[in-house]
Amino acid sequence: MEHTLLQVKGLTVQLSGKTVLNDVSFEVKEGECLAVIGSSGSGKSTLIKVLSGNYFSKGSVKFQAKNGHTPFIISISQQHHFRNLSNTCSFYYQQRFNSIDSEDAVMVNDILKKLCSDEDVLKETLELLGITHICYTRLIQLSNGEHKRFQLAEAILKKADWLLLDSPYIGLDIKARKLLNAIIDKLVVKGIHVLLITDPYTEMPSAITHVAVLEDGKLKDKICRKEFANKRGLLVKKNTFSCFNIKAAEEITPAYDYKEFSVAVEMINTSISYNNKKILDNINWKVSKGECWSVSGHNGSGKSTLLSLITGDNPQAFANEIYLFDRKKGSGESIWDIKQKIGYVSPELHHYFEAGCSCFDVVASGLFDTIGLFKQLSKGQTELVKKWMLLLQINMFEKRLFKQLSNGEQRLVLLVRALVKNPPLLILDEPCQGLDAQVTGKFIALINDICVALKKTLVYVSHYESEIPQCVTYTLKLDHGRIAA
């Protein structure tokens, strides 16, 4: 008789009066490895939080083991939480770009050595995960892919019986996704049980034997992987946006009186280093008004650092020859003068908003380029926020807590935050993270319509060519901090 490893019965969760999970039940038996998939907003992340004991729910969750001991369960979330050397876990957005402040973050080796004093076991774990090279890197400066592998190293050294993986592929390039799948396969062979939460179209590890589809908080029957592959199109609900109302967007007055410019960004022989390690090496790049650029490169190639020089978040910009909106960086403008002209979405941005922040406040904060709303809005500003939320069809989220939305819904709210000023330059760093494939298609079309209709200058970062809007006609590719030939 097959041994049941995980039994879930009647899970029901309500958040802000909305049923997010509705009577979810399933089992995982010995020899099985389950992936729960679903479109944006289906309840996937909520399910992981319930299974890991971080959310209250009706129903029951029971992990079991043959030898009678209570299984040790570790949940690996989309964001990695850690404390710095000052014993605080509150980080601000610009911290990793400030060399003095970033040094308050602990190194990878410091954490892992506390978990394992056996040098051979530690070396074997680092080699298994391919992260020997980041031993002496501070956590705050790891790339998305490096963070995921570091979290897996922690789990292995803590001797986890179960790993609950919440959308682990978000922010990873194609090579990093393949590497993560290979690592998960190795962990399953080593006897670690894995439950994977992901979107319907991401390639799953070979170890996955069964798939269950979560749709609007309800779980469809668990089926074998081969059957799912044959029926994928029938099982997965399609998400759609209505057409973008270009005329309505054109009629919305910009929040500020933006001065004319001919060059949005120009970098001349720009180089950035941290701890004697070069992150950007001799970058020469020019973005003229109205141009739409894609910026690409592997995880850790320097993309985020490059963008931080434009947005004003990196103090090393002052040590380089950089021009923003026809003005040399450091010639008297404030960081707020720069930010006022830019609408920005980043992979990490949503992590920095307080738990009590409403979606309306998140969008409104874009008027002032703050992480949270700290000013009283005028009547005109309130109307402006409402118009943009209605235009992009997120007005139903107005009073909901931002943190209670799905990752994909949060991404839409952050796009509206970037647009609410109607700024001349949009910088969209992996804006489709957390969106399923079909929503991504509509989302890209939406960005394309906005840039064409409103004549935006665009800098767009993505690991995938299929996610780049049609309006993009220029490309910058980074390879280990240099412009690739």
pLDDT given at position 131: 86
Q: Do 364 and 461 share a domain, yes or no? A: yes
Name the domain boundary from 206, 235, 264.
235
Question: Quick check: 219 and 11 in contact, CB under 8 A?
Answer: no
Instruction: Please identify every stretch of the chain with a pLDDT value under 50, giving residue numbers as ranges.
Output: 82-101
**Residue 271, pLDDT score:** 93
**Listed residues 235, 270, 296: the one ending a domain:** 235
Position 63 in a domain: yes
51 and 165: one domain? yes
Measured in whole angstroms, how far is the alpha carbon of residue 329 from the centre of its chain? 29
Residue 298 phi, psi dihedral angles, 5° rounding: -65, 165
CA distances from 81 to 121, 125, 132, 216, 382 (A): 24, 21, 21, 28, 34
Are residues 300 and 168 part of one domain?
A: no
DSSP string for residues in 336-366: HHHHTTEEEE-SSGGGGS-TT-BHHHHHHHT
- Furthest CA-CA distance within the chain: 75
Confirm whether 241 is domain-assigned.
no
- Specify the amino acid at residue 147: H
What per-residue confidence (pLDDT) applies to 19? 86
**Tokens 């919440």 sit on residue:** 166
pTM over 0.75: no
Beta bridge partners of 274: 277
Which residue's structure tokens are 């830019």? Answer: 342
Asked whether residue 30 is domain-assigned, the answer is yes
Is 240 part of any domain? no
Cα atoms found within 13 Å of the Cα of residue 23, Cβ hemisphere only: 2
Quote the pLDDT of residue 485: 57
Phi, psi of 162 (to 5 degrees): -130, 140
Domain that includes residue 381, residue range: 246-483
What span, in angstroms and rounded, lies between the C-alpha atoms of 366 and 421? 7
The span from the CA of 46 to the CA of 109, in Å, is 32
Is 82 inside any structural domain? Answer: yes
CA distance 176 to 295: 18
- 219 shares a domain with 251: no
Among 49, 61, 52, which Cα is nearest to 20's? Answer: 49
Amino acid at 57: S
- Which residues, 6 or more positions from 390, have their beta carbon under 8 angstroms from its beta carbon? none
Do 226 and 257 belong together in one domain? no
Q: Do residues 222 and 276 share a domain?
A: no
Residue 284 near residue 278 (C-beta atoms within 8 A)? no
Domain tally, the chain: 2
DSSP letter assigned to residue 138: B
Answer yes or no: do 93 and 164 share one domain.
yes
Q: Measuring CA to CA, how many Å separate 340 from each of 108, 376, 418, 485?
A: 36, 18, 10, 33
Judgement on whether residues 252 and 309 belong to the same structural domain of the protein: yes
Could you tell me if 162 and 119 lie in one domain?
yes
CA distances from 110 to 97, 156, 376 (A): 21, 16, 44
Q: For residue 317, what is the DSSP state?
A: G
Same domain as 67, residue 206: yes
Residue 200 forms part of a structural domain: yes
Same domain, 157 and 263: no
**Which residue, 191, 216, 235, sits at the end of a domain?**
235
At residue 20, what are phi and psi to the nearest 5 degrees?
-95, -40
- Six-digit token pair at 366? 């874009």
pLDDT for res 262: 96
* CATH code, domain carrying 193: 3.40.50.300
Q: According to DSSP H, which parts of 67-224 are helical?
A: 99-102, 108-115, 119-129, 144-157, 174-189
Beta-bridge partner residues of 11: 24
In a domain, 120, yes or no: yes
- Whether residue 402 is contained in a domain is answered as yes
275 and 215 in one domain?
Answer: no
